[in-house]
A = this chain, B = another copy of it.
């Protein structure tokens, strides 16, 4: 028994590694990998390569000359529903004569969710479920959240100085983080369905919000309750779809102009949030997530300034944080370039805390 478990884990690990190759290319579909095995030997493998492409199981079956009597390893329950781009996998697995299917985790999609397994079992295919389940769930955390809640998985990204500031007193924030960190964020953008900023970021920095050549561009969402955006903003230019989330009451003529430019407008009600220092009312961002979910947004990267970050945290809408803490002290300086750059910052873990130590030598 133990030996079987080890073998199962080994092949499932391979399926997960294959699945990972689809990162940034398959959403809102899940990442899936598949391995077909007979007598401990791999006959074929497959993975879901891009949204709309073959499912992993189908790819593996296509490459397998004689799948009869084999065992299939797949990190997500094979699908059995029809309202989608490609035909379901379960009937093809049955037809191929597969003997046993080892599955890491059930598909949370209500159209599948155990039904795929039941169909396989009805056709006398032995199913084993739960091998490397936690790993498989982590791999598709975005897809699972989205399938269960119909709202996107939200990543909150922030970059702040070692003294906890996101900008100088004059509002300068270029650049707190290192070039490599910013490159990492561009990569992350290419792997998420949408990216969100507040209007203040657009007015101040006029960003493009693209992946800067690191991969596909996500949809760009601007939270702009008063519709203050300039029609010349970089974020309205080509390269990616842009959506402006604004108040129902904001300038109707400007909305029409924006729509003619190809920009989508989502109108949101105001909502009294948990109080934030400067203002108590804010757009209903929970409702925004519902609307984004409806148009297939399974993941959202929130890159706004402090008010945006606070709003998402206070409304408990953040699933994952990515905080870059950068070795500079900007308090008291108007420009980042003039701020204190710390050299040789040492880091020590003290229980769960992180202790940063550095000498300040440049004054």
Q: Give the B-binding residues of A (Cβ under 8 A).
A: 141, 158-160, 162-166, 169, 177-181, 184, 274-275, 309-310, 313-314, 316, 318-327, 329, 331-332, 340, 342, 345, 347, 350-360, 363
Going nearest first, the 8 A-B pairs with the smallest beta carbon separation are A164-B164, A314-B332, A178-B351, A316-B363, A180-B351, A325-B354, A323-B356, A181-B353
Hey, which chain B residues are within 8 Å of A184, CB to CB? 350, 355
Residues of B within 8 A of A360 (CB): 318-321
Q: Do residues B181 and A356 form an inter-chain contact, with CB atoms below 8 A?
A: no
Q: Which of A165, A166, A322, A331 has the most CB of B within 10 A?
A: A331
Query: What B residues does A141 contact at CB under 8 A?
Result: 359
Choose among B177, B274, B314, B356 the residue that contacts A321 (Cβ–Cβ < 8 A): B356
- Please tell me if the beta carbons of A327 and B345 are within 8 angstroms of each other in the complex: no
A90 to chain B minimum Cβ distance, whole angstroms, is 31
Tell me, in angstroms, the Cα distance from A325 to B318 when the chains sit together: 20
Q: Name the residue of chain B whose CB is nearest to the CB of A318.
A: B360
Nearest B residue to A159, CB-CB: B353
A363 (CB) vs chain B CBs: closest residue: B316
14 A-B pairs, CB-CB below 8 angstroms? A158-B163, A162-B323, A163-B309, A179-B351, A180-B351, A181-B355, A310-B332, A319-B360, A322-B357, A324-B350, A325-B325, A345-B352, A347-B347, A354-B356
Residues of B contacting A313 with CB < 8 Å? 163, 329, 331-332, 340
Closest partner residue, chain B, to A359 (CB atom) = B320
Q: How far is the CA of A123 from the CA of B166 in the complex (A)?
A: 61
Which B residues touch A354, using CB under 8 A?
Answer: 324-327, 347, 354, 356
CA distance A169 to B164 in the complex (A): 16
Nearest B residue to A342 via CB reads: B321
The reply to whether B310 and A326 form a contact with Cβ atoms under 8 Å apart is no
Cβ–Cβ contact B274 & A332, under 8 A:
yes
Q: Which chain B residues border A310 with CB–CB below 8 Å? A: 331-332
Given the complex, which residues of B lie within 8 Å of A351, measured CB to CB? Answer: 178-181
Q: Are A178 and B350 in contact (CB under 8 A)?
A: yes
A281 to B274, CA, bound (A): 33
Residues of B within 8 A of A353 (CB): 159, 177-178, 180-181, 324-327
Cβ contact within 8 Å between A356 and B325: yes
Question: How far is B351's CA from A340's CA once the two chains are assembled, in angstroms?
Answer: 17
CA distance A329 to B321 in the complex (A): 10
A346 to chain B, nearest CB (A): 10
List B contacts of A178 (CB < 8 A): 350-353
